[in-house]
Copies of this chain bind each other. A is one copy, B any other.
Amino acid sequence: MAVELKYGMVGGGPGAFIGDAHRKAIAVDGKAKLTAGCFSRNYEKTVACGADLGISKERCYADYKEMAQAEAQREDAIDFVVVVTPNASHYEICKAFLEAGIHVVCDKPVTVELKQAEELERIAKEKSLLFMVTYTYTGHVTAKQARAMIQKGEIGEVRTVLTEYPQGWLAFEDDWGGKQGEWRCDPRQTGRSNALGDVGTHVENMIATMTGLKIKRVLAKMDVVVPGRVLDDNDFVMVEYDNGASGMYWASQIAIGCDNSLRVRIYGSKGTILWFQEDSEKLIYIDADSMIHELHRGYAQIDPSAAKYGRLPSGHTEGWLEAMGNLYSSYVDCIVTMGKGEFDVSMIDFPTVSAGVEGLKFVEACLESSEKGNIWVDIAD
């Protein structure tokens, strides 16, 4: 639990859920310490928040640009920044820190337009900076175990994928889910897609992570169900992968009774993998004889590449914060190793800006498909 790095945060002021969640997730393992921040557009709020968080006033900044420049010049500069502002501002902020030579973590979606994400990807590459996009659920030990088993061929060739991410919190005409619901349903703040962009991209990323397959083309039906809304709240996407397999994705915010039900089902020629985010201490594997095996995080059968992230014995539940903590754990290790000149890209075990780029390609292709009457649209290379 040695503190190895210093980090800053842009966004995450009082009342913001996701910034606090990132701080807690990092705190679990304590490998990095918050030492600078621009938590709000309001400087006084930033200073008050910084005081609460134990940050010296001189490292509370009025402006993210000032922060990027000032920190870059300090001897005890932050090692990385965590960007947890509303989606539309991600691009400018991330760019500023990358240009200042600081590693970046950005909440998903990395940007609201594909071109922006591609530009960030290019800059990070040129500058050899580590850029993580926090697709939290890929951090689960059991999700990594699914990836390991599929890579080792335990379910044979992937044939068909059924994956869904339904939520129910935006099901009601007279209750749009409070402040968060309001901005998510507002195209000016959220971009051109709501449900697909928000939860559908988790589906896309999780399947890419677990299977290694690339999507060749999509056919999407993006519906606006609740009267008065303008952005999609219930989406079906048919998918074709590069290996010829098919997939069906469902993203929804109107499925009453679903909290946050990311559920993965991957059927191969020799077996099946089932994984459910709300029950993420388990992975179900079904072999060719239809025997159902239930693997728990912490069992001896878990692959070392996944098992190493566990903190507690089986049956002592780990959850969402720990999954995000696993992403940060690898991220910090990579930065530390890079500092020692020992870094190698094969060490990366977190979603990078490239995953963010793929997510935007997916959403843009789906939008095109849906707007053109649900036709097949190729995913750009």
Which A residues have a C-beta under 8 Å from some C-beta of B? 1-3, 17, 20-21, 23-24, 27-30, 51-54, 155, 159-160, 162, 164, 167-168, 171-173, 219, 221, 223, 225, 234, 236, 238, 246, 248, 250, 252, 254-261, 267-272, 274, 277-281, 286-296, 298-301, 311-322, 373-376
Q: What's the minimum C-beta distance from A96 to chain B, rounded to whole angstroms? A: 25
Q: Are B316 and A318 in contact (CB under 8 A)?
A: no
Between A160, A219, A293, the greatest number of chain B beta carbons within 10 A of the residue's beta carbon is seen for A160
Residues of B within 8 A of A268 (CB): 256
Given contacts A259-B290, A290-B296, 16 further A-B contacts (CB under 8 A): A1-B20, A2-B52, A159-B234, A160-B225, A160-B252, A160-B254, A236-B248, A259-B298, A260-B313, A277-B315, A289-B299, A291-B299, A291-B301, A292-B293, A316-B319, A317-B320
Across the interface, do A219 and B374 meet the contact criterion of CB distance under 8 Å? yes
Chain B positions within 8 Å of A277 at CB level: 315, 317
- Most B-side CB within 10 Å, residue of A246, A270, A274: A246
The residue from B238, B375, B376 contacting A236, defined by CB atoms under 8 A apart:
B238
| Chain B contacts for A51, CB-based, 8 A | 2
Given contacts A54-B2, A316-B320, A322-B321, is CB(A246)–CB(B221) below 8 Å?
yes
Distance (whole angstroms) from the CB of A344 to the closest CB of chain B: 25
- How many angstroms between the C-alpha atoms of A293 and B164 in the bound complex? 22
Q: Which residue of B lies closest to A374 (CB)?
A: B219
Given the known interface contacts A292-B293, A293-B293, A294-B291, the answer about A259 and B314 at a Cβ–Cβ threshold of 8 Å is yes
5 contacts between A and B (CB under 8 A): A27-B28, A256-B268, A257-B290, A279-B279, A291-B299
* Chain B residue at smallest Cβ distance from A227: B269
Q: Report the separation of the CA atoms of residues A261 and B315 in the bound assembly, to the nearest whole angstrom.
A: 7
Q: Is the CB of A317 within 8 A of B316?
A: no
**Distance, CA A300 to CA B21, complexed state (A):** 21
Chain B min CB distance to A257 (Å):
3
**Residues on B with beta carbons closer than 8 Å to the beta carbon of A17:** 312-313
